[in-house]
Homo-oligomer: A and B are copies of this chain.
Amino acid sequence: MTLPANKRIAESTVRRLSMYLRYLEGLDGVGQLTASSDELAHLCGTTPAQVRKDLSFFGSFGKRGLGYPVHELTERLREILGLGHAWQIVIIGAGKIGSALAEYRGFRQRGFQVVGVYDKNPEKIGRAWGDATVRDMESLAVDVAEQRVDIAVIAIPADDAQDVVDKIVAAGIRAILSFVPTSLHVPPHIAVKTVNMAMELEGLSFALTNRAD
């Protein structure tokens, strides 16, 4: 088992690993046996040195003069990223975005299984959404006690977010993917990632405004 030692791995490195994996799966699918850091770098939009450095944190997978074995590296990366088993996720917030997420193919394709959809709005509770039925937010804690939930995806109004997050944490879920444009306060052992579309758009607005002409 390639343990990441006691070194802290940079978030940017993990993001790139995820990208390497995606392209390696593609190469594996078409039967390519090896890939060089140069090839991976071009595919992923980074540099060969970066690829080698990223991978070297976890061991030496390549063969000098030849490159990396595609299939084996794919499996190693899955292992490193913890994709060996299906993570179970719940979606909280049965609005537009929650809806798109619940039906999003990419989740299941990559091993994330939606095991529940929650909302606090009585009008939405009980409706069928994809495979699941929308359940009352209040029953989350009880449900989690019966069926393991690894990750909560929240797509709810900003004003409700901290309350909901507190309930998620209290229920024992240790990872949150947030689509809420607010900073969330959680204990240090909880992993949080935020997707903030407004922030990305404003980044583009800044780039367009302050471009070097």
Query: Given the complex, which residues of B lie within 8 Å of A193, measured CB to CB?
Result: 200-201, 203-204
A31 → chain B, closest Cβ, in Å?
Answer: 18
Contact (Cβ within 8 A) A45 B185: yes
Q: A9-B206, A177-B204, A193-B201 are in contact. List 15 more A-B contacts (CB 8 A).
A: A45-B183, A45-B184, A45-B185, A81-B206, A87-B208, A96-B103, A97-B104, A107-B201, A110-B198, A110-B202, A175-B204, A189-B212, A191-B203, A193-B200, A195-B197
CA distance A99 to B103 in the complex (A): 12
Contact (Cβ within 8 A) A151 B204: yes
Contact with B along A89-100 (1 / 0, CB 8 A): 100000011011
Identify A82's interface contact among B14, B183, B209, CB under 8 A.
B209
Identify A191's interface contact among B80, B107, B204, CB under 8 A.
B204
Query: Given the complex, which residues of B lie within 8 Å of A183, measured CB to CB?
Result: 19, 43-45
Contact with B along A170-213 (1 / 0, CB 8 A): 00001111000111110001010101111111111111111110
Q: Does A83 contact B (CB under 8 A)?
A: yes
Contact (Cβ within 8 A) B107 A199: no
| Residue of A14, A22, A202 ringed by the most chain B CB atoms within 10 A | A202
CA distance A203 to B80 in the complex (A): 11
Contact with B along A156-177 (1 / 0, CB 8 A): 0000000000000000001111
- Closest B residue to A97 by beta carbon equals B100
Query: Given the complex, which residues of B lie within 8 Å of A185, measured CB to CB?
Result: 45
CA distance A102 to B148 in the complex (A): 34
| Residue of A87, A175, A204, A212 ringed by the most chain B CB atoms within 10 A | A204
Q: Does A15 contact B (CB under 8 A)?
A: yes
Q: Does A4 contact B (CB under 8 A)?
A: yes
CA distance A74 to B209 in the complex (A): 17
Contact (Cβ within 8 A) B150 A208: yes
Contact (Cβ within 8 A) A201 B103: no
